């Protein structure tokens, strides 16, 4: 049982570490990390972006924006925990733009 739990933790830790440690790319697709009770659509529109996709993860949302640097600052001001480049996670999730 311990071996299974360790393997499961490593399986989740590697993609999460890759996502958090990625370089500061500035694609127009952003991954917004926020609390589940926040309204992702309202936050995205207020910061100057639009949600991508029909579904949203409990703690994150993919957002398309024309001005990534400004969007990142505004999203943090409106209550997101962080904003990352969303191109890598979109590719992993099969989102085609």
- pTM of the complete model beyond 0.85: no
Q: List, in sequence order, every residue forming a beta bridge with 69; answer none if it has no partner.
A: none
Contacts of 41 (CB under 8 A, 6+ apart): 51
- Tens of pLDDT, residue by residue over 67-90, are 998 999 999 999 999 999 888 777
Q: How far is CA 50 from the centre of its chain?
A: 13
- Other CB atoms within 10 Å distance of the CB of residue 35: 11
Fold classified for 25-93? Alpha-Beta Plaits (3.30.70)
- Tens of pLDDT, residue by residue over 30-73, are 999 999 899 999 999 999 999 987 677 888 889 999 999 899 99
The Cα 36–Cα 38 span in angstroms is: 6
């Amino acid at each position: 049982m311990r071996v299974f739990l360790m393997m499961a933790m490593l399986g989740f830790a590697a993609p999460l570490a890759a996502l958090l440690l990625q370089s500061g790319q500035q694609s127009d697709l952003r991954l917004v990390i926020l609390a589940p009770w926040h309204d992702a659509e309202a936050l995205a529109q207020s910061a100057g972006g639009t949600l991508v996709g029909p579904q949203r993860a409990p703690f994150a949302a993919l957002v398309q924006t024309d001005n990534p640097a400004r969007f990142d600052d505004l999203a943090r001001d409106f209550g997101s925990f962080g904003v990352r480049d969303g191109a890598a996670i979109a590719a992993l999730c099969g989102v085609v733009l």
